């Protein structure tokens, strides 16, 4: 394979697709945006949102375009997960999939647009069967999300602008799929100095009422500490 020759002509070309594992968080529950395929192959089954990489765009750009079409949002957190390349992973045509994961503020996205595309938010705890190798993509994406959330405070990408520490903890419990100690989580999170307490309180989720917090602008990422041990 080292001597490749002057031109690439003798090699094959393949379709290059994008598949997006789209995470959202609502009702104390981590959710995935899936859609009901309206076309062959695998028509009628559930799959990740996807599309193909156009001639003039990078895969990152393609992923952003696809997400914008679905959610109406521009500023989405996006990270490459992995390429899935088994020769027989799709139908007869060979398709390489570049998988991304995205974090969506469900409170901001265009719900009507999502509906009209036959898409649906599924709880991560009870996913339907997925086509092809999409389940594997979800697993890898969750792994990546855990690594990210373990090293920096996610939340600005998934929660509303202001939130209580209960909501933040529930988000982390959903991501890591285990319970976290109230006091220790609180101490850890506040020690990062990336949250600002607001004067307003939330009284709907507890009798006593809890202060709202928000992320301090620009203060993020300076931490890079271990929030949750993987």
| DSSP state at residue 164 | -
- Written as one string, the DSSP assignment of 31-98 is EEEEEE--SSSSTTSEE-EEEE--TTS-HHHHHHHHHHHHH--S--EEEEEEEE--TTSSSSS-EEEE
The entry of DNA, a second copy, none that residue 1 binds, CB within 5 to 8 Å by partner kind: a second copy
Residue in 43, 68, 206, 230 binding DNA, rule: CB under 7 A: 206
Q: Is 12 in the site for a second copy (CB under 8 A)?
A: yes
Residue in 62, 63, 158, 165 binding DNA, rule: CB under 7 A: 165
Q: Rounded to the nearest whole angstrom, what is the least distance from the CB of residue 159 to a second copy in the complex?
A: 26
Residue in 28, 44, 52, 216 binding a second copy, rule: CB under 8 A: 52
Q: Long-range CB contacts (< 8 A, 24+ apart) of 66-70?
A: 66/18, 66/20, 67/20, 67/22, 67/102, 67/104, 70/22, 70/33, 70/113, 70/114, 70/117, 70/119
Residue 45: phi and psi, rounded to 5, are -95, 170
Q: Nearest Cα to 133, choosing from 38, 50, 33?
A: 50
Q: Is 69 in the site for a second copy (CB under 8 A)?
A: yes
The entry of a second copy, DNA, none that residue 155 binds, CB within 5 to 8 Å by partner kind: none
Q: Is 111 in the site for a second copy (CB under 8 A)?
A: no
Residue in 42, 96, 131, 166 binding DNA, rule: CB under 7 A: 166
What is the sign, positive or negative, of the torsion defined by CA atoms of 97, 59, 144, 102? negative
Toward a second copy, which CB reaches closer, 52 or 211?
52
Structure tokens at 1: 């394979």
Calpha distance 149→144 (Å, rounded): 9
The entry of a second copy, DNA, none that residue 182 binds, CB within 5 to 8 Å by partner kind: DNA
Q: Is 226 in the site for DNA (CB under 7 A)?
A: yes
Residue in 89, 120, 188, 220 binding DNA, rule: CB under 7 A: 188
Residue in 27, 40, 74, 75 binding a second copy, rule: CB under 8 A: 40
2 burial (CB, 10 Å; 0-12 / 13-18 / 19+) is: exposed
Task: Give the footprint of DNA on this chain (CB under 7 A).
Answer: 164-166, 181-184, 186-188, 201, 203, 205-211, 225-226, 229
Task: Give the footprint of a second copy on this chain (CB under 8 A).
Answer: 1-6, 8, 11-16, 35, 38-40, 49-60, 65-66, 69-70, 80, 82-83, 85-87, 93-96, 98, 117, 224, 230
């Amino acid at each position: 394979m080292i001597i490749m020759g002057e031109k690439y002509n003798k090699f094959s070309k393949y379709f290059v697709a994008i598949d997006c594992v789209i995470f959202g968080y609502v009702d104390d529950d981590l959710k995935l945006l899936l859609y009901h395929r309206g076309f062959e192959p695998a028509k009628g089954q559930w799959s990740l949102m996807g599309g193909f990489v156009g001639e003039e765009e990078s895969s990152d750009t393609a992923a952003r375009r696809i997400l914008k079409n679905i959610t109406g949002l521009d500023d989405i957190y996006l990270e490459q997960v992995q390429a899935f390349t088994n020769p027989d992973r799709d139908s007869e045509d060979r398709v390489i999939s570049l998988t991304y994961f995205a974090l969506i503020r469900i409170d901001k996205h265009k719900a009507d647009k999502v509906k009209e595309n036959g898409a649906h938010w599924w709880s991560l705890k009870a996913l339907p069967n997925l086509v092809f190798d999409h389940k594997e993509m979800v697993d890898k994406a969750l792994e990546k999300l855990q690594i990210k959330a373990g090293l920096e405070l996610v939340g600005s990408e998934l929660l509303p602008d202001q939130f209580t520490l209960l909501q933040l903890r529930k988000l982390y419990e959903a991501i890591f799929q285990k319970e976290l100690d109230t006091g220790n989580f609180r101490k850890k999170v506040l020690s990062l100095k990336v949250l600002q307490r607001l004067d307003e309180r939330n009284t709907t989720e507890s009798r006593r009422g809890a202060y709202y917090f928000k992320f301090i602008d620009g203060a993020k990422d300076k931490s890079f500490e271990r929030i949750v041990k993987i």
